[in-house]
Amino acid sequence: MGKMKEKNKVLEIVNTIADKNKAEVIDYTYNRNREHCFLKIVLGGIEGDYNIDLSQITAVTKAIRSNQEFEEIVPEDYKMEVTSPGSDYPMRSKKDFTRNKGQKVRLKHDNLEIKTPVVGKLIKVEDDGIFLEISGEEKFFDYQKINFGKVCF
C-alpha cells in the first residue's frame, strides 16, 4: 500500500472510531519511515461547546489500539499521541472559538481598521464571526479576515 493510501486509510479508521465516541478529528499527523511510525490525533467534541473530556480521549485511544484493521496497516513499532487542542492550539473555525468563549484571546487578522494582533475577551461566537471586548467596546471580526487566535495567559 502506498504512503498516501495508507495515511488516508488510517485516517478513515480513526474518523470512524472518533464518530462512535462523539468526537471529531481536528488535526491528524501520520509519519512513517519504514518500520517506524508516529501518529498525532487532535480530537474535539461534536456537541454543545465542542469540548472533549479525558474519558472520550481514552476511549478513542483504546479503540484505535485494539482495531484489527489498524494493527494490519500500522507497523508494530509506532508511537501515537491522542489529545485535545491545548490552550496554545490556533483557533480558526467557529468550533475553535466556541471552545474558548469567555477567554482572553490574541487575534491575528486582516481587518485594516483595527491593529493586529489585538487582545480582547471572546464574548460572542456567531455563524459569520466573533466579537471581542476590547477596552470596554465590542468589536466584530469576520472569520474570513481572521488568520488565527490563541488564548492568552
Segment 39-58 mean pLDDT: 92
Distance (Å, whole) CA 101 – CA 130: 10
Residue 34: pLDDT band (50, 70, 90) is confident
For the chain, what are the domain ranges?
A: 3-83, 94-151
Residue 60 has a pLDDT of 98
Instruction: Kindly report the CATH number that applies to the domain delimited by 94-151.
Output: 2.30.30.100
**97 in Cβ contact with 122 (< 8 Å):** yes
Quick one: cell of 6? 495508507
The CATH class of 3-83 is alpha beta
Residue 87: pLDDT band (50, 70, 90) is confident
pLDDT tens for 3-30 read 889 999 999 999 999 999 999 999 999 9
The three-state secondary structure class of 5 is: helix
> Per the confidence metrics, is the pTM higher than 0.75?
yes
